[in-house]
Structure 1
Amino acid sequence: MENNTKNWLQRLKDESWEAELLVSAIAIFGTFQLFDFVNWGANIFINILNPNQYFVAYFICLFSFLAVSVLTSMFVIHFILRAYWVGLVGLNSVFPDYSIEDSAYSKIYTEKILSILPKLKDSIQKVDELCSVIFSVAFTFLFIYGYMALFVSIYLLLFNILSEFIPYYILIIPAIIIIAGAIAQTLVTLFSNLKRNKEKEKLQHLNFTLVKYMNMILYGPLYKNLLQVFMIFGSNFKKKKSLTYLMFLFLLSGSLVAVTQFSKTNIFYLADSNYQKYFDAHKTYSNYYKDSNNSDFLLAPEIQSDMIKSNVVEVFIPIFDYESSMRETVCGVYEEQKDKSKVEKHLHEAEYLKECYKKYHNIFLDGKKIEVSYLRYNNHYKTNQFGILAFIDLEGVTKGLHEIKIEKINSEEAFLKWTIPFYYNFNKIE
C-alpha cells in the first residue's frame, strides 16, 4: 500500500508539468487583468477617503500592486522555463548526451566547449526544480501582500467608522503596537541568527515567540501556511542556496513589472500628502479635455477641448464623496424640514446642495473671479462620476490663449485647485 502511494505521488510529480503549463498560460492572462482591479481600488480610496489618509491608502494599493506584479512575473517566467524544460526533455530523448566522435567540430574544440557546459540531465533537473518551486513562491508573495492590503483596508475602514465615537489617538494605538512588534521581531530575528547567538536558548525561544505571534497578527489564518513555505526554504538553505537566491531575483522582476504598470494607474495620486503636486499649474494635461481624455476616473475638471469654438465653455467638476464631511464648515449644517412632504424635502435638499457647491467652488477666468451657473450632474458620460456642470460665458473675450482656474475651498484655504489653458477661436456669424 505504501509503495503504491509512493508510485502514485512520483507519477503525479512526473506528469505535473502539463497542468503547470496550462495553469501558467491561463494565469498570465488572468493576473494582467488584476492590475485594473487594483487601480479600481485606488480610485475608490481617492473618492471616499479624506485626503489626510491617502498615504495609508497608497501603501494598501502598493502592497496589492506588488502582489499582482510578482504573481504575473513569476507565471511568465514559469511558462518560459517549463517550455524550455519540455524542449530539453525532448532533446534528451533523441540525444541522451553530448558526443565527441559524432561532433561536427574538431575533437579539441568540442572537448573545450563541453568543459564549460553543464550536463544535459543536470540542466533538466535544475530547470525542473526551479519550475516546481515557482508556484509556491508566487502564491506566497500573493498571500503576504494581499493579506496585508486586506488587513490594513479593514483597519482603515474601522478607524473611519469608530472615529466619530472614539478619539483618534486611541484608535491608532493598535497600529503603533503592530508596527513596533514587527520591528522588534525583525531585529531579534537578525540578532538571534548571528553565528555566536544560535546556541543561546533564551534568545532563540524569544525569537520563536515573536515570530509566532507577529505572524499570527500579520497573516491571520494564513500564518501557518506561510511559515511552512518559509521553513522549507530556510531549513534547506545550505543544500539549495541557488534556488533561494533566485527567489530574490523573481521578487526583483516583480518589482520591475510593477514599475512598468504603475504609470497606468492613479496610485501615485495617493503617494504624497501634498497630492496637489500631481497636477502642476505650469503644465497642461490631456485629462483636462473631453476630446482627448482616456481616463476611466476623473481626478480633475474637464472642459470640452483645448480649442474652444463656441462662446460658452462647459466645465465638468467631479464631486468626491469625502467632500460631504467638509461641506458643513462652508455651507453650514443642513436642517431637514420634517413638516414637509417627501418631494418637498428632496427639493429642499437639492437646493441646499446646489447653493453649497457654489459656495465652495471658485472659478477664475484669466485670473479674475467670475460668477457662473451650475447644474448638478448625476453621472459623467464616461466615468459615471457625480459632479457639477459649470457654464462659463465667453462673450466679449478676445481671440487667443486663455486659462480657467478652478478651486475647491474649505473654511481655511483651497484644498484642490487646477489651471486649465485653452485657445479661444470663436467666429461670430453676423
Structure 2
Amino acid sequence: MESDKQGAPHSPAKPTWLKRVEEESWQAELIISGAAIIGTLQLPGLLDQLEVFLLLYQDSEALGLWRLVFLYLRLVTAALIFTFIFHFIVRALWIGMVGLNSVFPGGFRPNKRFSEDFQAKMRENYGNIDAYILRLDGLASGIFGTGFAAASLFFNFGIVFSAVVILIGLLRNFGGYSRWITVGILILALAYFVMAIIVSVLHIEKLRERAWVKRIHFPITRIMYRLQFPINSRFTVTALNILSYQVADRKGYWFYAVGMGVGVAILGTVADQAFSSNARYFYESTFFYEAQDSTLIRRAAYEEENYEGVHYGPVLPSKYVDTTELFSVWVPLPERELVLYRERCAESQKGSEGDKPTQEAADFLDCLASEIRLSINGTTVRGASFNTEYLATATAKQHGVRIHLKDPPLNRGKNLLAVGTPSDYRKATDGLRMSYVVFFAH
C-alpha cells in the first residue's frame, strides 16, 4: 500500500547516490539555468536571421510551409526563455528562504510587540517554513523538467515539418515535384491524425481491456512516438507521460488537455509576434500590400535613412530629388518574385541565341525591363536602363535591380513613383504588385 501511495509500485528502491543527486540537483539547475538564460535570449535573433534568409531566397509556396516550422521553433524559444527565467526566480527565492531559515532557525520569534492571537495565526498560516522550502524546491525542479519537456516537444515538431519542407524543396529543385506530392503529404498527415484519434479512443474503458486492443494498442502508440519525436525520443515521451499521468485520474482530465492545447496556441501566437519582426511577411497578403499606401512616407523607401531591416518595396537614394541629376530607383528581387520573372522570361527567350552567362544575364535584364512597370505622377516611364545591384543593410544584403530613368516627368514639389512587379496573388490587378514611393523634386 505504501508503494501505491508513492505512485511507483513496480519501481525498484532508489540507490542512495541517486537520492543524494536528486536532493542536490539545485546546484546543477542554477548553473545550467544561469548560463541558459544568456544563451536562449540569443535564439530570437538567430531565428530572425534564418527567417530573413528564407524570405529572400524562398518562393511563396515554400514560405507558406516554413511559416508552420517557425511557429514551432518560436514555441521552443518561448518555452526555454520562460522556463529558465521563471526557474531562476523560484530557485533564488528558495535560496533566500533557506538562508533565512539557517540564520534564524526558530522562525517567528515570540515577542510582546504583537498580540498572542495575531502571532499564533501568523505561525499557523506562515510558520511552517520547512514545508514552504520543500514546496519551492519541488516547484523549481518541476518548472525545469516541464520546460525542457515542452521545448523538446515543439523542437521535434519543428524538425518533422522542416524535413517535409526540405524534401519538397529538393524535389522541386530536381524537377520531381508536383502538386500531387503536396496532396500526398497532406493525406499522410490526415492519416496520422486519424490514427492519433483512434489511439486515444482505444483508451476508453469499454475497449481497453479487450484482447485485440491489448495486442495492437501499445505497439501502434510506440511507432507513433518514434514518428513524432525522432530526436531525444526517450526523454520527451517519458517526461510528457509523467506529466499527463499526474492528472490522468482527475475528473477534469480532458479540461487539462484542452486547456494545454489552448495555452500552446496562445503562447505560439504571442511568441510569433513578440519575438519576430518578420513573421507577417511569410504571408503573401502582407507582402503584397506592404508598400501600397501612396500617401505614406516610409522610412524604408530612402537609402539616406539607413534603414536596417529587409526591403520589400522600391528604394530611392533620398526623399529629395535634384531635377538636374540622374534619377534612379532600386527595386528588390526576392525569390518569391524571381520565380515569376524566370517563368515569364523563359517563355520570351526561347529563341535567344548564345548560352554564355553574360548573355543570359543581359537577356534577363531585358526581360525585367519588359516586365517591371514604372510611372511617375501617373505617366508611364519608358526607356529606362537596368543593372543588377545588391543593396546592403544591417540585416541583409539583398539582390535587386538599379533602374536609371532618363528625363523622368517630374513636378516641382511632391511626386509619386509607382512600381509594378509580377505577382500571382489572387488580388493582383493585371498580374502586378504595385508599390509606391513619395518624393520631392527641387
TM-score (norm 2): 0.80
**Residues 252, 23 of structure 1: CA spacing in aligned structure 2 closer, same or farther, 3 A cutoff?**
farther
What's 2:4 paired with?
A: none
How far residue 19 of structure 1 moved from its aligned partner, in angstroms, is 2.7
Once the two structures are superposed, what CA deviation does each residue of 1:150-204 show, in whole Å capped at 9, x if it has no partner?
A: 3222322221332454462442255224422342244335434456655455456
- 1:155 corresponds to 2:155: no
> Is 1:361 matched with 2:372?
yes
Structure 2 CA distance for partners of 1:159 and 1:87, relative to 1, 3 Å? same
The answer for the alignment partner of 1:267 in structure 2 is 279
The CA deviation string for residues 396-425 of structure 1, in whole angstroms up to 9 with x for no partner, is 623332221111126994353311222x14
Shift of 1:90: 0.8
Supply the AA of the counterpart residue of 2:72: F
Gaps of 5+ in 1: 339-344
Please tell me whether the aligned partners of residues 290 and 312 of structure 2 are also in contact (alpha carbons under 8 angstroms): no
Aligned counterpart, 1:341: none
SS at 1:391's partner residue?
A: strand
User: Is the contact made by 1:100 and 1:110 (CA closer than 8 Å) also made in structure 2?
Assistant: no
Structure 2: state its 5+ residue gaps: 1-13
Alignment partner of 1:337 is 2:354: yes
- Please give the alpha-carbon distance, in whole angstroms, between the structure 2 residues aligned to 1:205 and 1:367: 74
Q: For residue 388 of structure 1, what is the aligned residue in structure 2?
A: 401
Q: Which amino acid aligns with 1:40?
A: Q
Match of 1:50 among 41, 47, 59: 59
Range that drifts further, 201-210 or 136-145: 201-210
Q: What is the Cα deviation at residue 71 of structure 1?
A: 0.8
Counterpart for residue 342 of structure 1? none
Structure 2 counterpart of 1:132, which letter?
S
Structure 1 residue 40 and structure 2 residue 49: aligned? yes
Distance of aligned partners of 1:202 and 1:112 in 2 relative to their CA distance in 1, 3 Å threshold: farther
Query: What does the per-residue CA deviation read over 1:237-259, in whole Å, with 9 as the maximum and x for residues that have no partner?
Result: 36999xx9799599689548615
Q: Residues 149 and 234 of structure 1: is their aligned pair in 2 closer, same or farther, counting only changes over 3 Å?
A: closer
Residue equivalent to 2:92: 83
| 1:213-252 mapped onto 2 (5 Å cutoff) | 213-237=223-247
- Conserved? CA contact 2:327–2:404, under 8 Å: yes
SS in 1 for 2:312: coil
In structure 2, distance between residues paired with 1:118 and 1:168: 70
Query: Which of 130, 138, 143 matches 2:147?
Result: 138
- Compute the displacement of 1:72 (Å): 0.9
CA distance in 2 between partners of 1:398 and 1:169 (Å): 49
| Corresponding letter in the other structure for 1:294 | Y
Match of 1:171 among 169, 178, 181: 181
Q: What letter matches 1:286 in structure 2?
A: R
**Larger deviation, residues 124-133 vs 410-419:** 410-419
Q: Which residue of structure 2 lines up, in the alignment, with residue 30 of structure 1? A: 39
1: distance between equivalents of 2:249 and 2:130? Answer: 19
Compared CA separation, residues 209 and 365, structure 1 to 2 (3 A):
farther
User: Secondary structure, in 3 states, of the residue corresponding to 1:375?
Assistant: strand
Count of residue pairs the alignment pairs up:
413
2:330–2:403: 8 Å Cα contact kept in structure 1? yes
Displacement of 1:306 in angstroms is 3.5
Q: 1:362 to 1:253 in 2, by over 3 A?
A: closer
Q: Measure the CA separation in 2 of the matches of 1:127 and 1:350.
A: 66
User: Are 1:184 and 2:194 counterparts?
Assistant: yes
Q: Which moved more, 1:151-160 or 1:352-361?
A: 151-160
Structure 1 segments, 4+ long, off by >6 Å, are 238-241, 244-247
Residue type of the alignment partner of 1:330: R
Distance 1:361 1:352 in 2: 14
- After superposition, the Cα gap between the structure-2 partners of 1:135 and 1:294, relative to the gap in structure 1 and judged at 3 Å, is farther
Q: Distance in 2 between matches of 1:255 and 1:157?
A: 22
Contact 1:185/1:211 (<8 A) preserved: no
The answer for the alignment partner of 2:131 in structure 1 is 122
Structure 1 residues 86 and 45: alpha-carbon distance in aligned structure 2, compared to 1, 3 A threshold: same
State the distance in 1 between where 2:411 and 2:29 align.
67
1:138-160 CA-partner distances (Å, limit 9, x unpaired)? 23222222232232223222213
Structure 2 residue aligned with 1:297: 310
Tell me the CA shift for residue 67 of structure 1.
0.9
Q: Secondary structure at the match of 1:281?
A: coil
**SS of corresponding position for 2:398:** coil
Q: Which residue in the other structure is 2:412 paired with?
A: 399
SS in 2 for 1:102: coil
The equivalent of 2:3 in structure 1 is none
SS at match of 2:392: coil
TM-score (norm 1): 0.82
Instruction: Give, in angstroms, the shift of residue 37 of structure 1.
Output: 1.7
Q: State the Cα distance separating 1:213 from its structure 2 match.
A: 2.2
User: In structure 2, do the counterparts of structure 1 residues 215 and 238 end up closer, same or farther at CA, with 3 Å as the change threshold?
Assistant: closer
Aligned match for 1:316, one of 292, 308, 330: 330
For the aligned residue pairs, the C-alpha RMSD in angstroms reads 3.6
